[in-house]
Amino acid sequence: MDLATLWFLIVAYLFAGFFFLEGFDYGVGILAPFISREEADRRMMLGAISGVWDGNEVWMVSAGAVLFAAFPAWYATLFSGMYLVFVFILVGLILRGVGIKFRNQQPDPVWRASWDKAIAAGSLLAGFLWGVVVGNLLRGIAINADMVYVGRWTDLFNPFSLATGAALVALFVLHGAMYLNIKLSGAALVKLQSKLTTIYGVTLLGAAAFLAYAALEVGLLKSSIALGCAAAAVVFLLICGGALKKNPLLAFWMSGCTIIAVGGAVFAHVYPRVLISSLDARWSMTIANTSSSPYSLKVMSLVALIFIPLVLVYQGWTYWILRKRIELNEPGY
Amino acid sequence: MDALMLARWQFAITTSYHFIFVPLSIGIGLLAAIMETLYIVKKDELYLRMARFWGKFLLISVALGVVTGIVLEFQFGLNWARFSRYVGDIFGPPLAIESWAAFFLESVFIGLWFYGWNKISAKLHLMCIWLVTLGAMLSAFWILTANAFMQAPVGYVLRNNRIELVDFPAVALNPQVQLEFWHTVFACIVTSAFFVIAVSAYHLLKKTAEFEFFRRSVLIASILGLAGIIVTMHVGHDMGVHVARTQPMKLAAAEAVWDTRTNGAESAFALIDEKARKNVLDVQIPQVLNYLIYSKAEGVVPGMNDLQKEFEGKFGAGNYIPPVTLTYWAFRAMVFSGIVMLVVLMWVLAISVHKKFDRSPLFFKALIASAVLPHISNICGWIVTEVGRQPWVVYTLMRTSDGVSLSVSAAAALVSLVTFVLIYTILIVIAGSLTLKLIVAGP
């Protein structure tokens, strides 16, 4: 395997990790208003993510930076091509990022309710638009021979990309619910558990419908690896359903694995291309014609070799420290 | 306005906004780390309360610094796709390394610091804030490494229609980044010192019950701030010497030197006519410029008109002179604020060492107002660096106008610019009022 392919896998790894970790952050943000409007419950739900979401978001930052470093042309065409989609992802990220940090700084109920709305809206916007990006990755966008996007911005919001956005939001909401299921306690947990079956049922139906749509629309299951990943996603999702009530921790890992498997299917479908041209197959951008120089990749491989394991260890360690369920009126939250 | 101009405005505005919070994140983090260390060493609860109180402002600045930082990371691809494609091979790696070797450190441990007070031992908790500060500083290093390449390109070769990395150590050890790093990090410390002094001045003015709390805060901040401003100025001088060699056009613009100058006179006040390419009026101090650049009386400072001819010969027709008036005055505003800050910090340190806080209300009000000085200096410093480099985005290798995205229409760029300005304006109002409330509430 050449270095560029290795870096394609690292990009996939970072995006999958980002969707796994920020998936439940977004999910909690979107879900919170539907679980409870009471202050104590709200605090607890936010408290479940407030100690870890900063680190989670760096997975996205890292994915973006690695894309820039290892595949400059991919990064350039993706971001400039889907310009307004990314601008509003940023708007969503700003709303929720500031909201999570600011909400508890003032006791005023109006202040808190406003930030709750901002967190929910920001999470939904970012999660949905990342789905739109993924949908367009699968479907292809109007890229010309010079690697420049020549379509209109409205083309990016097609039925398939919108459906992908909805499907991804559903997965994030499920994953967020599974996360809250292992973090909450007391009344908030009871309220969440009364809704778990509904959340799961809707997500399962949505996921199944989307899978059929993707198979027909973009031929998602044509590559054997994508097929394998999609099959694994289905299995993980079913195990998640089985463990819903009896084994919350397993259910959480399974909803996370579903997201990772979906990520695997997406990247397997695209491979060895990185951006599919909907205008002419020959204009599709590939790993080979977008990657950085071998020397640049070599330098970064060395850095990755040291820091990927190191970051995993200390980030994992903080999760271990903060592993307990959130108690009511816990100091600091 | 065309898409290029909009993209430039957007980058300038979003970067300047980002840099209101970055210095506070770095500097307040360091101050909080020192305070918590003093708590562990001296077992004095007051230091713990100090770390917690100032930590609240760390939380606000990090929140805004992070969300506005992601906007910048995405913006290279969003608005500057051709730049990204052309220099990504060498510009991308520092950013990728930044996320792994620095930003993860800062973000993971800041969560644990804020929410782990009762979950980990006191020493482990202290380690968290030091790792946050270390992460923030390393982050600055790698971002500035990328910026330094745009100022003084090293370790590259032109190949495959782009700039390719051939010598990574040269990029990371670029003399430009050594200077930028120390200059910037210590300026960040100064910025935070002024913030702490201003907030403390408010409480000392109002004679709130926390006299000792704020006296010690001022003492720590003024020691750090004074050390910071001295280093910042010293490295700033070295930077001027370096820029004179590596980017003579920027130096000439900052000094409004149109025609090559042999008498080494420093401009104190100039009325600049950029169209006619001359100064209408120029009040000069003899010799000073040569001493600043060459540390001696003799020396030749190339003027912009001669450099323009030289550049035309090398790079073809075009305007190679940056916006001179802006660069010239930004440079003066930076240096002047720096000198005022030096005086203020010496004064405040003397007062807090001698515990002589019995001053007139005007004194404290002036101290509160002085918190704006480092921000003026910071932004003006970046204006000199970035505007003074124009028309290049990567010095001598790529023009800014060649770096802009082709697929982004002026309409789309306008939508994003208006959106960001709107959100940022709302945010600064909310964050400002929250900060004021936390200041008034006190520890």
pLDDT in tens, B328-348: 999 999 999 999 999 999 999
Is residue B319 classed as helix, strand or coil in its secondary structure?
coil
pLDDT tens digits for A223-282? Answer: 899 999 999 999 999 999 999 999 999 999 999 999 999 999 999 999 999 999 999 999
> What CA–CA distances, in Å, run from A178 to A20, A164, A252, A253, A262?
12, 21, 5, 8, 17
- The pLDDT value recorded for residue B290 is 85
- A50: which chain B residues are within 8 Å (Cβ-Cβ)? 111, 114-115
- The pLDDT value recorded for residue A228 is 96
Domain carrying residue B285: 248-322
| Res. A329 pLDDT band, cuts 50 70 90 | low
The domain tally of chain B equals 2
B143 and B285 share one domain: no
Tokens of B103: 């930003």
Q: State the DSSP code for B261.
A: B
Give the other-Cβ count within 10 Å of B437's Cβ: 13
Q: Is A315's CB within 8 Å of B59's CB?
A: no
B311 and B335 share one domain: no
> What CA–CA distances, in Å, run from A93 to A154, A158, A276, B63?
22, 23, 27, 11
B48 and B81 share one domain: yes
Q: State the DSSP code for B400.
A: G
ipTM at complex level: 0.92
Is residue A270 classed as helix, strand or coil in its secondary structure?
helix
Q: Does A105 touch chain B (CB under 8 A)?
A: yes
Tokens of A205: 């139906």
B292 and B398 share one domain: no
Q: What is the dihedral of CA B304, B305, B307, B311, to 10 degrees?
A: 120
Q: Is B103's CB within 8 Å of A62's CB?
A: yes
Last residue of a domain, one of B322, B340, B375: B322
Query: Of B292, B299, B311, B287, whose CA–CA distance to B260 is shortest?
Result: B299
- A304: which chain B residues are within 8 Å (Cβ-Cβ)? 100
The minimum CA-CA distance between A331 and chain B, rounded to whole Å, is 8
Whole-angstrom distance, CA of residue A22 vs CA of residue A29: 10
B257 and B281 share one domain: yes
Last residue of a domain, one of B274, B298, B322: B322
Instruction: Give the count of Cβ contacts less than 8 A between chain A and B.
Output: 236
Q: Give one DSSP letter per residue of B73-129, joined into a string.
A: HHHHHHH-HHHHHHHHHHHHHHHHHHIIIIIHHHHHHHHHHHH-TTTS-HHHHHHHH
Contact assessment for residue A262 and residue A229, using Cβ atoms and an 8 Å cutoff = yes
Spatial CB neighbours of B76, under 8 Å, sequence gap ≥ 6: A68, A75, A79, B83, B84, B91
Q: What is the dihedral of CA B231, B232, B238, B243, to 10 degrees?
A: 170
Q: Does A281 touch chain B (CB under 8 A)?
A: no
B195 and B297 share one domain: no
B111 and B223 share one domain: yes
Contact assessment for residue A94 and residue B67, using Cβ atoms and an 8 Å cutoff = yes
CB-nearest partner of B104 from A58, A94, A331: A58
For chain B, state the CA radius of gyration: 23
pLDDT tens digits for A172-202? Answer: 999 999 999 999 999 999 999 999 999 999 9
pLDDT at A330 over 80: no
Whole-angstrom distance, CA of residue B187 vs CA of residue B208: 30
CB-nearest partner of A73 from B85, B416, B427: B85
Contact assessment for residue A179 and residue A326, using Cβ atoms and an 8 Å cutoff = no
Tokens of B293: 């650049």
- The pLDDT value recorded for residue A147 is 94
Helix axes B211-246, B324-353, angle to 10 degrees: 150
- B412: which chain A residues are within 8 Å (Cβ-Cβ)? 83-84, 153
Q: Is A98's CB within 8 Å of B63's CB?
A: yes
Whole-angstrom distance, CA of residue A142 vs CA of residue A153: 11
| Domains, chain A, ordered by start | 3-297+305-321 (1.20.1630.10)
pLDDT tens digits for B214-263? Answer: 999 999 999 999 999 999 999 999 999 999 999 999 999 999 999 998 88
The pair phi, psi for residue A89, each rounded to 5°, is -60, -45
| Res. B435 pLDDT band, cuts 50 70 90 | very high
Partners of B163 in beta bridges: B158
pLDDT at B203 over 70: yes
CB-nearest partner of B118 from A52, A318, A331: A331
The minimum CA-CA distance between B339 and chain A, rounded to whole Å, is 35
B318 and B362 share one domain: no
Tokens of B312: 């035309």
- pTM for this predicted structure: 0.94
Contact assessment for residue B25 and residue B135, using Cβ atoms and an 8 Å cutoff = no
Whole-angstrom distance, CA of residue A73 vs CA of residue B86: 8
The minimum CA-CA distance between A307 and chain B, rounded to whole Å, is 6
- B104: which chain A residues are within 8 Å (Cβ-Cβ)? 55, 58, 62, 307, 311, 315
- The pLDDT value recorded for residue B289 is 87
B114 and B219 share one domain: yes
CB-nearest partner of B434 from A53, A87, A102: A102
Whole-angstrom distance, CA of residue A18 vs CA of residue A130: 11
Whole-angstrom distance, CA of residue B398 vs CA of residue B27: 34
B142 and B61 share one domain: yes
B361 and B215 share one domain: yes
- A110: which chain B residues are within 8 Å (Cβ-Cβ)? none
- A101: which chain B residues are within 8 Å (Cβ-Cβ)? 59-60, 62-63
Q: Does A145 touch chain B (CB under 8 A)?
A: no
Q: Does A142 touch chain B (CB under 8 A)?
A: no
Q: Is A54's CB within 8 Å of B110's CB?
A: yes
Q: Is B77's CB within 8 Å of A80's CB?
A: yes
Spatial CB neighbours of A7, under 8 Å, sequence gap ≥ 6: A66, A70, A71, A291, A292, A297, A300, A301
Q: Is B104's CB within 8 Å of A83's CB?
A: no
The minimum CA-CA distance between A166 and chain B, rounded to whole Å, is 23
B33 and B140 share one domain: yes
pLDDT at A333 over 70: no
Last residue of a domain, one of B297, B322, B347: B322
Whole-angstrom distance, CA of residue B172 vs CA of residue B144: 10
